[in-house]
Amino acid sequence: MTTAKIIKDPRNGWQATSKFELSGCLPPDLITTLQLTIVTRKDMNGKLCSRASVWRLHPDGSQSHCVGYGQSQGADFGCGIHTTCPARITAKVVNAQHEQALQYLDKVKELAFAFYKAHREPALSSEPASLEGGQ
């Protein structure tokens, strides 16, 4: 089981974060490292959302994540994993949903690798990734 960092943000309440290094997504000549981050927190509509996003870690210590739509060049991977509407968003509820989201880690990594592979090669279409729906 992965240990998540759980904090209480004064503005957004409880949130859980887990980070994983991704290797082999980018061409080896690039010096940036990719980090998959899974975060569970309250969204602006009051729902509890678990999302995955890939961040680029640069040699100078900075991080970046580029949001894009469709075939945007330079965009980074992101997808929704799970959304619920609990009556109260407590540390226990956040942790339970975050652990549930981490069960999809292998699938999220697979989607991330496919995303970066498609962006290195010409692709016919690109739909936003989501694990919701059939799960």
The tens digit of pLDDT for each residue in 26-63 reads 666 566 788 899 999 999 899 999 999 998 888 888 88
DSSP state of 104: T
pLDDT at 29: 56
Residue 71 main-chain phi, psi, to 5 deg: -100, 35
Handedness of CA 23, 27, 29, 35 (dihedral sign): negative
Low-confidence ranges of the chain (pLDDT < 50): 1, 122-127, 134-135
pLDDT at 50: 97
pLDDT at 1: 42
Give the residue carrying structure tokens 């999302």: 51
pLDDT at 42: 94
pLDDT at 12: 81
Q: What is the pTM of this model?
A: 0.78
CA atoms within 13 A on the CB side of 50: 25
